[in-house]
Amino acid sequence: MLVGVGLGPGDPELLTLKAVETLKRAHKVYVPGRLAAELVAPYAEAEILEFPMLTDYEVLNAVWKKNADMLADESKDNLVAFGLIGDPNFFSTFTHLKRVMNKFYPGVETATIPGISSITSFAAQTGSEVDSSFEVSDGSDSKFRVRLKASKPLEIIESYEKEGFDKFTFCERLFSDREVIITERDKIPEKGNYFSIVFAEKE
């Protein structure tokens, strides 16, 4: 299994228990750079995988494929961890590696362990507060929306569809034993509860 492990925003004390446990158990740990290697160092010796900062998708795809080729065999029967700054599912090389791995090596299971992201943790460090809708951008077009307090998911989805969103995930009480995750549009219920999120995507 190939697991993306969130290492948090840079403070060695801001790794989760699950991240530490996974790094200790892993057969092999890879990272994309020195800072990540330093955060992993107390638990495992990490190998740095090359992920150049490029914008040419053709070249990038070739690099992701090369890395997937390299990790596929050992990830099939062993726990292989890929440690990333912040959270592995936000603006991270791991999402691309995972996508390419799933496409070319469907026999390799993939998963992610969330990490404390710079997107939320900057507020603690700078004394900032966010208590209404906000935007996170890397300068590219906006393709995603996260709706909190989604107690009327269907109503929310219908209004988002008018804005061009066409893929939805509804989730409720995540990480609890009453967790609900629904990705089929037609199965999303009319009512959620307070601990509900709608995640919307468009091309």
Instruction: Tell me the C-alpha to C-alpha distance, in Å, between residue 163 and each of 122, 153, 157, 159, 167.
Output: 30, 16, 10, 7, 12
**Whole-number Å distance between alpha carbons of 80 and 26:** 6
Residue number, 175 or 190, with CB nearest to ligand SAM: 175
Report, in Å, the least distance between residue 86 CB and ligand SAM: 2
- Give the residue, chosen from 67, 75, 117, 196, that forms a contact with ligand SAM under the rule CB under 6 A: 117
Residue number, 106 or 127, with CB nearest to ligand SAM: 127
Stretch binding ligand SAM (CB under 6 A), from 72-80, 96-104, 111-119, 127-135: 111-119
Report, in Å, the least distance between residue 99 CB and ligand SAM: 16
List binders of ligand SAM among 1-30 (CB under 6 A). Answer: 9-10
**Whole-number Å distance between alpha carbons of 89 and 169:** 15
**Whole-number Å distance between alpha carbons of 10 and 29:** 17
Q: Which amino acid is at 147?
A: R
Residue number, 67 or 153, with CB nearest to ligand SAM: 67
Q: What are phi and psi of 48, to 5 degrees?
A: -85, 120
**Whole-number Å distance between alpha carbons of 105 and 194:** 38
Of the candidates 148, 169, 20, the residue with the CA atom closest to the CA atom of residue 83: 20
Stretch binding ligand SAM (CB under 6 A), from 20-28, 82-90, 162-170, 187-195: 82-90
Is residue 85 at the binding interface for ligand SAM, with CB under 6 A as the rule?
A: yes
- Residues forming the site for ligand SAM (CB under 6 A): 9-10, 84-87, 90-92, 117-119
